[in-house]
Structure 1
């Protein structure tokens, strides 16, 4: 495990926890920040239960391990940072990270520092929390972020990281959703037909998605432990073609795409069983949760105004 830090520890305690100072960690463009309230369920007692973000974080550590085995000198990887919840007991948090053998790179020292100051320092491509206001603040500040919900979920295997994305309002901007809101379904379909060859603007999680694509490319000729999915309500005619052309034009490869033409996303997501599914619409997140799928709400765009 990489090293963790706690403010004003004695030298003995620093040796015990193998603390790494902030300056000793070089943050990369692949930094993932996770609030401890998403990583663990803070039940009574010293031992925390696994939280809703736990499977995703565990799978990320597997990817890092595979990269290290493949190319020991590699620098591109996911740097995982945990940001404790307010008044979190740091000793208990560090203890539980060790109990679950999570390869966390860094635990932030919260103190009185605002969340956005932490994010500005570590520059994550993704921030996950169960606190909706913190997530909205992160989105408004320009960071990819999503709200998670502490629910029961299906178990996941640790051999492949599976990440599923909605399209509009997540990977892409909400420009087409605004047309739908103003002009209805027919206006939306006509807009997509007219603009089929014009790429969609990119959305709040595109940097995170690009990071996954970059990591996948490190496993050329190897069994890649990352799979990405697009699960969208768009159909297979012009709306779907515009998405595919946007991905192709921007050289963004996705492993599988599902165009559901407005059908319920839950059954498809249950079959995929992703470690995390991102969507900007709460009804789709609720549908995923009903099927035991870990859903994360991206509060971005016209659907969330």
Structure 2
């Protein structure tokens, strides 16, 4: 996937002018009801983003107020009682499409419960994911913990295509042959870079990132690590599971959000025994 030019420009601007990174979230993901008095599946993640903004307050350029600018996207004119720091409310009207609004906002991440709008956002070059409403356990607010899958999320789906089309043996050989070749960036690479950008500026940063991938520790794992380094994707901990279930690791990590391009892995994360908020990234060969 060719990364969104607008997101690239935002990261470059952030390096010079320190502009905030925008996260756009729909009211249907943030709240269970439009009037906004019942917490939705994205609520703990946005709450943790608020915590990062509060923790780092006073350590930005004079022209900046927050690291993350939270934009609530809604179709409702009702007052929203949220108890969160929302920096901007964007009310969708018939005058412009959602993609028009996203083009103006330039988010590094867009979250919604509507799969169609998320697919449109990804196709337009924005990092995006579908949230599934579920019960969740209130998580510790001392750190924002974000977990990513690799292929189809942080990386492109080029290796995953080999696996889908030619099988495991061909995939393994492909990774051996291309061990030194870096994978292209995936749809959430720019969001991961935004997290790393903030981490680099604090010795004790309240942000921790993880990669939880089905890749093994051989050539496929080596290629993944080289890709992370080449693209500046600073990940604190990496778990190479060799195809074993991701649930136990996710349960131990307790991320505020976990991104995966395979719905089955998201469903496993949402399982009551795991209790992790999973977000589906409908990108690549696994979602054709």
**Distance change in 2, residues 1:235/1:288 (3 Å):** same
Aligned residue in 2 for 1:266: 247
TM-aligned CA deviation for residue 47 of structure 1: 5.6
Partner of 1:236: 217
Which residue of structure 2 aligns with residue 155 of structure 1? 138
TM-score normalized by structure 2?
0.89
Aligned pairs, number: 268
User: For the pair shown, which has the larger CA radius of gyration, 1 or 2?
Assistant: 1
Shift of 1:257: 0.3
> In the alignment, is the contact (CA less than 8 A) between 1:68 and 1:74 conserved in 2?
no
Q: 1:79 aligns with which of 69, 72, 77?
A: 69
Provide the residue aligned with 2:56 in structure 1.
67
1:248 aligns with 2:229: yes
1:114 corresponds to 2:93: no
Determine the C-alpha separation between the residues in 1 that align with 2:60 and 2:242.
42
RMSD between aligned residues: 1.7
Q: 1:153: how far off?
A: 1.3
- Provide, for residues 176-212 of structure 1, a one-character-per-residue CA deviation record: whole Å limited to 9, x for no partner: 0011112100000000001111111110000111000
For residue 55 of structure 1, report the CA deviation from its aligned partner.
Answer: 0.6
Distance 1:120 1:250 in 2: 24
Q: Determine the structure 2 residue equivalent to 1:130.
A: 113
The Cα of 1:90 is off from its aligned counterpart by: 2.8
Any idea what SS the aligned residue of 1:258 has?
A: strand
Quote the Cα distance in structure 2 between the aligned partners of 1:204 and 1:180. 20
Contact 1:29–1:124 (Cα < 8 Å) also in 2:
no
Moved more, 227-236 or 150-159: 150-159
Q: Please, which runs of 5 or more residues in structure 1 have no aligned partner? A: 1-25
Which residue is 1:90 aligned to? 78
CA positional deviation for 1:251: 3.1
Cα separation, 1, equivalents of 2:266 and 2:100: 29
* SS at 2:162 equivalent: helix
- Give the CA deviation at 1:252: 2.5
In 2, the alpha carbon distance for the partners of 1:179 and 1:132 equals: 26
Structure 2 CA distance for partners of 1:71 and 1:287, relative to 1, 3 Å: same
Gaps of 5+ in 2: 1-16
1:71 CA displacement: 4.7
